[in-house]
Amino acid sequence: MHVKLIEIIKGFFHKKEKQEQETPPASSAQQPEAASSARLKKACKKCGKTFSYDPSWDHIPNYCKECRQQFAREKEEKQRAGEPRKIKRKCRECGKSFTFPSTLPHYPNYCSNCRKAHQASMKAKYNRKKSTGGKNTEKAD
């Protein structure tokens, strides 16, 4: 059984050696690649300006760099000019749904009723001025 396994392994390696001998040298294989990597020219669909691209790219562009940048600027301006979206969330405290505009710098986690109570409790918890109850805590000499 071991002998058969060794013969199979030897046959496998001999096949690889034969395939390596049949393949042409690497220098002739690189010549077609060099020719295919030449950049090609194409006209922009919007302005007609010619630009170059590599044919090996997955997506061949239809527009020049300047036109693509202009499209991106226009798209961003359109998005900014639109009405702010209304975002809907559930309150962490009571579970009631509430909405707020997307223009807020920080999105709230509490509805307007619970937010007031939460802010008051946080203010009491983290108040820097400790109430002394009217007593003077300074030591007299």
Judge contact between 85 and 101, C-beta under 8 A.
yes
> What is the rounded CA–CA span in Å between residue 91 and residue 112?
9
Q: pLDDT tens digits, residue range 7-60? A: 777 776 666 555 555 655 554 444 444 445 688 999 999 999 999 999 898 999
H or E element that contains 55:
none
pLDDT tens string 104-141: 888 899 998 899 999 999 999 898 776 555 555 555 54
Q: Which residues pair with 90 in a beta bridge?
A: 97
Q: Is the pTM of this model over 0.75?
A: no
Q: Give the model's confidence band at 1: pLDDT under 50 very low, under 70 low, under 90 confident, else very high.
A: low
Give the distance from CA 24 to its chain's centroid.
Answer: 44
